Structure 1
Amino acid sequence: MKKALLLLFFSVFLTKTQAQNYFPVNESVQNKTKNYTVFTNATIYVSPTQKIEKGTLLIQDGKVVAVGNTVSIPKNSITIDLEGKTIYPSFIDIYTSFGIEKPKRNLNPDGDRSPLYDTKRVGYYWNESIRPELNGYETFKYDTAKAEELLKAGFGVVGTHISDGVAQGTGVLVALNNTENSKQIIADKITNHFAFSKSALTNQAYPSSLMGMMALLRQMYLDLDWYKKGNSETKDLSLEALAANEKLVQIFATEDKLNSLRAAKIAKEFGLNYVLKGSGNEFERIEEIKNTKAQFIIPISFPEAYDVSNPYLSNQIELADMLFWNQAPSNLKVLSDNGIVFALTTDKLKKTEDFKVNLLKAIKYGFDKTKALESLTTIPAAILGKSNEIGSLKTGSYANFVITSGEIFDEKTILYENWVQGTKYVVNDITAKDIRGNYDLTIGNDTYKWKIEGTETAPKSDITTVAAVKVNSKFNFSKNWISMVLKPGDTIKSNFTRLTGFVEKPEILSGKAVLSDGSELIWNAKRTSLFTAVKDTAKVEKPNPILPTTYPNVAFGDSKKLTAQTLLFKNATVWTNEKEGILTETDVLIKNGKIAAVGKNLSDPSAVVIDAKGKHITSGIIDEHSHIAISRGVNESGHNSTAEVTIQDVVNSEDINIYRDLAGGVTISQLLHGSANPIGGRSAIVKWKWGAAPDEMLYKNQPKFIKFALGENVKQANWGIQNPTRFPQTRMGVEQVFTDYFQRAKEYDESWKTFNSGSKKGKAPRVDLELQTLAEILNKERFITCHSYIESEILMLMNVAEKFNFRVNTFTHILEGYKVADKMKEHGVGASTFSDWWAYKFEVNDAIPFNGPIMHNAGVVVAYNSDDAEMSRRLNQEAAKAVKYGNISEEEAWKFVTLNPAKLLHIDDKTGSLKVGKDADVVLWSDNPLSIYAKAEKTIIEGVVYFDIEKDAEKQLSIAKERSLLIGQMLQEKNKGASTQKPAKKEKKEYHCDTLEQ
């Protein structure tokens, strides 16, 4: 009886003792009685910029009632003393898939993977990657386990959505409140989501490329505008949903810096305001990112260092990937320093616990702590328009906050609790005492030395005898209870000794020891000194020096954007491509990006003078048919006509082939759609301004072109799929495609002309980007470049064109052009061909190396093109083959890769020859440019030297030094025990006419 009373007294005493510092709140009682909960004596961050010392936070029913230094505490309050503790608003992640299962790849009911071209959905949009009618809340299931991961990381609210398709539907805002029957959904529709990704729920072939996705988005917004104006005869549930969700926050997942620019381009065209979910490489194009004026959501999933211990494998790693590893931690600082507003997300992290590790790393690299807190609280709240409810602790907001041991972005800070809507989630025991230190431990008559170190929440124990002999032991500390087992060994001859004890004061520990024979003793330990972490100066981690960003941020990039110069070349052999012909001992002056003068004894005091004696100067090489520097697909193969897509949307300004082209004297290329369909996409004429953004490379006010195709590719003869289902599959079918589409385009054009004239009232025709583009051909506003081989097909397309009263501009490849050169001349079409490629497939069996010269002699404008990343670097040598095979003069042969392609592209008034007033697109050659020994020493575009052979040598040395430095940094990372990734060679896809995306 006495023993029972003693235990009852002890339990009551213990509860009172605990309550003096912290009272465990009974949530069910609190909710029923509507009691207040008061947190006193805390450092409180009401917002990242409003801090209260010794403050009081009063909450009730999941909301903040009051916060400040003079808060009146109601009588029915549970008071929690947080002396020495800090309160912050809980974090917000507005881009997750929390509680929503990612859709899985869909198949037709019979398991067939053959592509579909028409939707089987009734009443919805024609393309199944457009699914704005989907709502995240309808499939949402609260994930308690994942919620605990996020709560431990400090998050209280997340936005989640279905991550699938181009238009993905609405997202839901969720409070991470693990209490049953709680109001976890704050807003069922808060965001509207988009991405450059095809839906996994469809087998539709279209879109199969990035440019197809961009065209689809444009058509979707045009259709939406048309639909909202009441022009549709039928109801479209997808467009209804788009219209209904226009006022929601529009989030676009770009996943790359260049894609962010592409999404911003769509936004500008349609007056939209996307919040762009980026990728972490925004620093590489920060000026352009800033100019988007968009808000961002940024992941901080930094790449691991590569394991470079094997020098042979490390050679496979591209410098760009090594640089990104080094520079990625600086991304948040760069964004912040440039005034870009952004929130942070856990997206792309392998483990949620990596979030704090990476964020602290970003802070170590200069990211401001206040900005960091804003990006996790007030900024995401403001983006969502929920600043009055979440993101701060001002009166009326949700009681979402964390309690920490100190400053939240300190490595040693402990996160004790995360309260969401007034509900407590315990991360670490806030009542736990810090028992770390050195003790004299006494068990009966035996004395030991006891060291407790580690962290406050996970202490580690080490026991030795007075003679410093280690004692085997197993230690556990939880909820202020010590339990330890001393194991048998040299120091303890008996069996196990078990120690238990409750900690009231860390200075003196005591409890009961139970020996193996069941006898009991009292143990006690007196602290002789406090724990002090030993600073190992050898392990003080200093951030790796960040290497400077280059333009572009890959190998051979420049430290700054290049600018035009005034240049004077003296005493060169000048190939003018004009009536003056080839001039010897002649000067060329370049000024303000133009050819200022060509002649002898020129001078300009402001010019950089270059001795060109013994060297040759030409206009830059123009490649009429190229497929380099294109992102995510050269073919939009999903339909037999894709006139709505454009290569201009997907120029990849960081392709190393650009620099290689410059090294081969190429200044301008036409980037063409592939030949997967009879009517392909629109082209992009580009100037290879290495280091510039994609849109800066686009030729200004460029003529409009589109790619058509004939032959094996368009009828899918060599696609390799078991059951090709797309029309056409024969050559006569190809002709029918052209006839049908031009007839449709003619009718479409007439309907708009009638509507715009006002002669016929009624509903507006639907804007169709595909037919609009084809109508431009009929109206002689757009030119056709057609992939071609066989004479019969060449004649066929010319006949179709004449039937609709327009002319084909260029036949490219045209390897049987020599058979119909007279007909081509009569039609007025030019030829862009290969010098001597043949026999690589059946339809080129009749190709001959005299093809180009024969067409030239017949009066056809002839150019040689590359259609190949390798060949484009040596088009000067391809031109020389016209001399060899056709006995063409050197001067005329050189025009095959300069002036003639300029004529075919309708830009010969600006470039293609060295004439005063034309663009200064110039190449300095070490020898006759038709010689296999000639090297391009300087390649100049509009007065800017984009390639210099001497600087190239310096860059190669710089690259070697950078690689050596980065390898050293990565070796240090591995030596420190950091995780590393295996080196892997990246296989870059080289696009050709028939390349299809998987």
Structure 2
Amino acid sequence: MRRFQQWALLAIMLALCTSALTAQQTYPYNGVYDQRSGHFAFTGATVHVGPDRMVDNATLIIRKGKVVEVTAAGSVPAGAVEVKMDGKHIYPSFVEAYGSYGMPEAKRGGGGWGDPPQTDSKTPGAFSWNQAMRSETEAAAMFKADAKAAKSLRDAGFGTVSTHHQDGISRGSAAVVSLADGKENDLILKRRSAHHLSFSKGSSRQNYPSSRMGTMALLRQAYHDAAWYKKQNGEETNLSIEAWNDLQALPQIFDASGNWQDNLRADMIGDEFGKQYILLGGGDEYQRLQALKESGATFILPLKFPKTYDVADPFAADLINLGQLRHWERAPANMAAVAKAGIPFVITTHGHKKMSDFTAALRKAIKSGADAKVAFAALTTGPAELLGIGDMVGTLEKGKLASFFVTDKDYFTDEATVYQHWVQGKPYVLKDLDVVSLADGYELMIDGKSFKGEVSGKTGSQKMKIIAAGDTTGVEATTSTANGLMTLRFKPEDADGFYRLVGAPTTEGGYAGTGQDPTGKTINWSAKATDGDDAPEKKDKQEKKEEDDKMEFVSRLTYPNIAYGADAGAMKVGKYLIRNATVWTNESEGILENTDVLIDNGKIAAVGKGLSAGGATVIDGEGMHVTAGIIDEHSHIALSSVNEGSQVSSAEVRMNDVIDATDENIYRQLAGGVTTSQLLHGSANPIGGQSALIKLRWGKTPEEMKFAGADGFIKFALGENVKQSNWGDLYRNRYPQTRMGVEQIFESYFSRAKEYGEAMKAGKLVRRDLDLEALLEILNEERFITCHSYQQGEINMLMKVADRHGFRVNTFTHILEGYKVADQMAEHGAAGSTFSDWWAYKYEVNEAIPYNGAIMHKQGVLTGFNSDDAEMARRLNQEAGKAVLFGGVSEEDALKFVTLNPAKMLHIDDRVGSIKAGKDADVVVWNNHPLSIYARAEHTFVDGIEYFNRAKDAEMRKAVREERNALIQKSLDAKKGGAKTQRPSGKKRRTLHCNSLDHMQEKHAH
């Protein structure tokens, strides 16, 4: 009867609420109009009004889909239907800040992999030239209610979603929608809640952008175009730009979920244009908390954690690197770490296909140290305020939507069961309210015999183990609590049949009733709850479980958080005295024997004999050689992408945007004595991107690695790559396709850049063009060219183009036929950065010779050797030695090929490249002659910080092995404990070269 009454009441509630929700203002009503207001009073529950307010034994009153009031033990108003919720908990519905509910799937555009590159947008109409810029997209116009998806989200506690079409770089506006049933007109709560952006092209097949740096350049250009569009007088109609401008007043939410470096990249764009982005995180924020806090951003945190690695097979386990194992262990504690750092955040379900997985992840995050109250706010008031809908949702305060869910326990700290979810005053039933939640344990008296009952599982699916006196194992009982009654059926190990028992609740919270024993005899029985202090064994067991659940890390947190990452305390400037070494000064003093070098406050303080230590750490230099740090003029390490080859000119892109501070090659090259690298764009197009100059400050952020105050450089390229002769038959639609065309590209672009500069000087309303702006900087001697080159004809061609347009080519890199035109290079003033002995690896280098560097040097060309290769860079000292072997260059001059000369090429020789008092303390201590194949870097300093120490490296190797083993053992324990596992899969870093092409559809390069 009771079950019938409950479902009858529910049917009434549904009828009352449905009419209130679907009473649309502009739609005709088919049938007899129902004016009932959905007036309810929920009594006896603990109502969590919001994260900071809770009312026990509360009365929650709702009417017309909104909250009227919440009072303690309040009366039921006249006309309201009372819904008894004794012992239950009521929470405001969660708010999803980053959803795609009700949105169509983002489908790839037409065409296949066998088609030629798409250079133009295929979007019809007066929209952006770039198909990935979809500012005109309006989620409210696309929204379609989805009953199945809505139920899944409601079951996880969500009642409101800010939804957007997750397609493109500019994704247009999001809409806030309710997860109730009904027509879209009633479900859209806010038409425009945010402007969404991302680093992904999405469905666009258009070539540009093909790299992360290209995306960032496109975003910069969009901001400049939007500013120009406001001022232009009808020269162009662009609906995408108009929409972009309309969206700027909204919250700006950026999907930067690749990794923490993408978070910082997005924030860098925002800072440049006065925008404070809200950032969708990647779940690894714990790795760089201080830098992310300084961004000032609010984060939308996903709770998608890696599954445990199945490392049972020791050989398969070798596929997993230490960084992966560390992240597996620490990811669940990311939320706690972000909160502790004082970084504002909200929580999203993004990344979870099954909402039950999200709920489990939320509880795992709380067990891993996150504060339940903070998590509550991050799911309710936080996103509501972020989206400007705090007047509608987030709490159960007067006037807000009656969106809430009902549980049997504290949702955030216990394994709670959700019974009902009301959205806009409309009920959705998940479980029968009459299902009873059992206590953790019972003392049973059955026909005069004593038993213990241990309960496990969640409400509605709980199980009881019956343990007889003197028994230690017990037997499982079939348990039911339907209709408020408890039924038990179990067979003791020493019995021939089953006990069958039925009992009603007692006033003390237990049960009592009758039943039959295994012989069929009618008996009496009772069950007394043994929660709390009455059950010390259970309490001890619970305390032990809680202790086991506490997050204790066996891994270290380093910078970056991979093997051989630096400790925070290690990245400090020290005072060092290198005593009694052979010092290669690269200055007029030449090579000094038995000489001291004092490093202090990041600089070379003194060079001489018998220097005083003065509290410095002393390094015995007996038998050692000291040189300036090696400088690699042409490198592609520490980059997440290298080519934006989709257009003939990509002068607008910046390698500074894609510095990857987590590249282990930084540490490896420090071990080879390298301290400074120029990170160049690749050679996919004649006019490449702007270079990045970094010091190898291992453990620092990308911004901290940049060589402050250095001149700007840009990569140009000649030869086979740029005319696409080695790209395949599909690549025949991008000009140029010949070497003659390459020259005409340079002529055209520099002519346009000159006109652009003249128009700006004249004060005309000029659309700011980042591509032409970089070329104008070359003409104004504010940016300098490093040009990929091989054959003499092309080298001469570019020098003549430069002469005609009034600038100088700073450096020809590779330049394997430099020996043929060395005199003309010297006359022009161009430097040559070449390989020591590479040749015959493609047709256009067939005439390379190993004497190239020596010949250029003897002709007065500033000459250096570069690596263009992550492995070779670790041995540039040996490459320099080849100049002595091939061509008889002096040892001092040969060392300058990889130290002082590249410093001069890069215009930083006033800071680095030689051992001289006052210069940056970028110093290497070698155990042998620095040009010898036997030489090893024992100490490498950058700015007076010891970033590499060979003795400490040996200690780290041992520590890495021990830590890795501890994490593997922890993984095995987790698997044994029932954790879901994944097959081992390595994360091998892609080594980038001049001709490496990037594809944004691979989403993230890290």
What's 2:31 paired with?
Answer: none
How far apart are residue 146 of structure 1 and its match? 1.9
How far apart are residue 338 of structure 1 and its match? 1.6
Q: Could you list the per-position Cα deviations for residues 120-162 of structure 1 after superposition, in whole angstroms to 9, with x for gaps in the alignment? A: 4431111111111011122222222222222111111111111
CA 1:163–1:14: 2 relative to 1, 3 Å: closer
Matching residue's letter, 2:120? D
What's 1:517 paired with?
Answer: none
Q: Could you list the per-position Cα deviations for residues 805-827 of structure 1 after superposition, in whole angstroms to 9, with x for gaps in the alignment? A: 11111000000111111111111
Q: Could you list the per-position Cα deviations for residues 237-286 of structure 1 after superposition, in whole angstroms to 9, with x for gaps in the alignment? A: 00111111111111000012111111111111100121101011011011
How far apart are residue 415 of structure 1 and its match? 2.0
Matching residue's letter, 2:591? I
The answer to whether the 8 A contact 1:94-1:159 is kept is: yes
Unaligned runs of 5+ in 2: 21-34, 1000-1006
Q: Secondary structure, in 3 states, of the residue corresponding to 1:205?
A: coil
- Taking the aligned partners of 2:995 and 2:729, their CA distance within structure 1 comes to 14
How far apart are residue 427 of structure 1 and its match? 2.2
- Aligned: 1:89 with 2:92: yes
CA 1:661–1:40: 2 relative to 1, 3 Å: same
Residues 304-313 or 33-42, more deviating: 33-42
CA 1:478–1:95: 2 relative to 1, 3 Å: farther
Q: 2:566 aligns with which of 558, 570, 575?
A: 558
- Taking the aligned partners of 1:937 and 1:601, their CA distance within structure 2 comes to 22
Q: 1:371 aligns with which of 353, 368, 374?
A: 374
Q: Secondary structure, in 3 states, of the residue corresponding to 2:167?
A: coil
How far apart are residue 544 of structure 1 and its match? 4.6
What's 1:758 paired with?
Answer: none
- Aligned: 1:170 with 2:173: yes
- Taking the aligned partners of 2:521 and 2:822, their CA distance within structure 1 comes to 109
- Taking the aligned partners of 1:845 and 1:304, their CA distance within structure 2 comes to 51
CA 1:670–1:467: 2 relative to 1, 3 Å: closer
Q: Could you list the per-position Cα deviations for residues 5-49 of structure 1 after superposition, in whole angstroms to 9, with x for gaps in the alignment? A: xxxxxx5x7766999xx8775222353321421122322222101
Q: Secondary structure, in 3 states, of the residue corresponding to 1:26?
A: helix
How far apart are residue 183 of structure 1 and its match? 2.3
The alignment-based identity, stated in percent, is: 46
Q: Map 1:188-227; keep pairs closer than 5 Å.
A: 188-200=191-203, 202-227=204-229
Q: Secondary structure, in 3 states, of the residue corresponding to 1:874?
A: helix
Q: Could you list the per-position Cα deviations for residues 715-765 of structure 1 after superposition, in whole angstroms to 9, with x for gaps in the alignment? A: 11112353432111111111111111111111111111111xxxxxx6x10
What's 1:696 paired with?
Answer: 704
- Aligned: 1:27 with 2:10: no
The answer to whether the 8 A contact 1:568-1:607 is kept is: yes
How far apart are residue 500 of structure 1 and its match? 11
- Taking the aligned partners of 1:261 and 1:706, their CA distance within structure 2 comes to 23
What's 2:785 paired with?
Answer: 784
- Aligned: 1:683 with 2:684: no
What's 1:244 paired with?
Answer: 246
- Aligned: 1:569 with 2:568: no
- Taking the aligned partners of 1:74 and 1:881, their CA distance within structure 2 comes to 94
Q: 1:549 aligns with which of 553, 557, 568?
A: 557
- Aligned: 1:599 with 2:608: yes
How far apart are residue 863 of structure 1 and its match? 0.5
Unaligned runs of 5+ in 1: 1-10, 514-520, 756-761
Q: Could you list the per-position Cα deviations for residues 759-807 of structure 1 after superposition, in whole angstroms to 9, with x for gaps in the alignment? A: xxx6x10000000000111111110000001111111111111111111
- Taking the aligned partners of 2:769 and 2:408, their CA distance within structure 1 comes to 61
- Taking the aligned partners of 2:406 and 2:15, their CA distance within structure 1 comes to 21
- Taking the aligned partners of 1:508 and 1:300, their CA distance within structure 2 comes to 44
Q: Could you list the per-position Cα deviations for residues 886-908 of structure 1 after superposition, in whole angstroms to 9, with x for gaps in the alignment? A: 10010000000000000100111
The answer to whether the 8 A contact 1:502-1:511 is kept is: no
CA 1:811–1:145: 2 relative to 1, 3 Å: same
How far apart are residue 476 of structure 1 and its match? 6.5
Q: 1:610 aligns with which of 614, 619, 624?
A: 619
TM-score (norm 1): 0.91
- Taking the aligned partners of 1:923 and 1:995, their CA distance within structure 2 comes to 31
Q: Secondary structure, in 3 states, of the residue corresponding to 1:433?
A: coil
- Aligned: 1:507 with 2:494: no
Matching residue's letter, 2:360? V
- Taking the aligned partners of 1:944 and 1:435, their CA distance within structure 2 comes to 62
What's 1:623 paired with?
Answer: 632
What's 2:803 paired with?
Answer: 802
- Taking the aligned partners of 1:942 and 1:865, their CA distance within structure 2 comes to 22
The answer to whether the 8 A contact 1:502-1:510 is kept is: no
What's 1:6 paired with?
Answer: none
What's 1:348 paired with?
Answer: 351
How far apart are residue 548 of structure 1 and its match? 3.6
CA 1:180–1:730: 2 relative to 1, 3 Å: closer
- Taking the aligned partners of 2:589 and 2:528, their CA distance within structure 1 comes to 95
Matching residue's letter, 2:65? G
Q: 1:284 aligns with which of 273, 279, 287?
A: 287
- Taking the aligned partners of 1:808 and 1:426, their CA distance within structure 2 comes to 74
CA 1:175–1:599: 2 relative to 1, 3 Å: same
Q: 1:230 aligns with which of 210, 215, 232?
A: 232
How far apart are residue 204 of structure 1 and its match? 1.3
The answer to whether the 8 A contact 2:372-2:413 is kept is: no
How far apart are residue 81 of structure 1 and its match? 2.6
What's 2:1002 paired with?
Answer: none
- Aligned: 1:45 with 2:48: yes
- Taking the aligned partners of 2:578 and 2:528, their CA distance within structure 1 comes to 80
Matching residue's letter, 1:114? P
CA 1:282–1:465: 2 relative to 1, 3 Å: closer
The answer to whether the 8 A contact 1:485-1:499 is kept is: yes
- Taking the aligned partners of 1:985 and 1:144, their CA distance within structure 2 comes to 40
What's 1:267 paired with?
Answer: 270
CA 1:330–1:484: 2 relative to 1, 3 Å: closer
The answer to whether the 8 A contact 2:634-2:677 is kept is: yes
Q: Map 1:875-894; keep pairs closer than 5 Å.
A: 875-894=876-895
How far apart are residue 669 of structure 1 and its match? 0.3
Q: Secondary structure, in 3 states, of the residue corresponding to 2:337?
A: helix
Residues 409-418 or 865-874, more deviating: 409-418
CA 1:531–1:353: 2 relative to 1, 3 Å: farther
Q: Map 1:310-459; keep pairs closer than 5 Å.
A: 310-434=313-437, 453-454=455-456, 455-459=458-462
How far apart are residue 199 of structure 1 and its match? 2.8
The answer to whether the 8 A contact 2:486-2:511 is kept is: no
Matching residue's letter, 1:507? Y
Matching residue's letter, 1:208? S
The answer to whether the 8 A contact 1:452-1:459 is kept is: no
Q: Map 1:79-158; keep pairs closer than 5 Å.
A: 79-108=82-111, 113-121=115-123, 122-158=125-161
Q: Could you list the per-position Cα deviations for residues 678-713 of structure 1 after superposition, in whole angstroms to 9, with x for gaps in the alignment? A: 000000000000111101100001111000000111
CA 1:770–1:332: 2 relative to 1, 3 Å: same
- Taking the aligned partners of 1:113 and 1:657, their CA distance within structure 2 comes to 36
CA RMSD of aligned residues (A): 3.2
What's 1:650 paired with?
Answer: 658
Residues 79-88 or 613-622, more deviating: 79-88
- Taking the aligned partners of 1:766 and 1:180, their CA distance within structure 2 comes to 45
Q: Secondary structure, in 3 states, of the residue corresponding to 2:421?
A: strand
Matching residue's letter, 1:726? R
How far apart are residue 440 of structure 1 and its match? 8.5
What's 1:55 paired with?
Answer: 58
Q: Map 1:734-883; keep pairs closer than 5 Å.
A: 734-755=742-763, 764-883=765-884
What's 1:8 paired with?
Answer: none
CA 1:619–1:467: 2 relative to 1, 3 Å: closer
What's 1:583 paired with?
Answer: 592
Q: Could you list the per-position Cα deviations for residues 73-125 of structure 1 after superposition, in whole angstroms to 9, with x for gaps in the alignment? A: 420111123222222211111112222233122124x8863212222443111
- Taking the aligned partners of 2:743 and 2:150, their CA distance within structure 1 comes to 59
The answer to whether the 8 A contact 2:207-2:646 is kept is: yes
CA 1:120–1:459: 2 relative to 1, 3 Å: closer
- Aligned: 1:304 with 2:313: no
CA 1:477–1:904: 2 relative to 1, 3 Å: same
The answer to whether the 8 A contact 1:284-1:549 is kept is: yes
- Taking the aligned partners of 1:39 and 1:630, their CA distance within structure 2 comes to 59
How far apart are residue 604 of structure 1 and its match? 4.0
Matching residue's letter, 1:607? A
How far apart are residue 188 of structure 1 and its match? 2.2
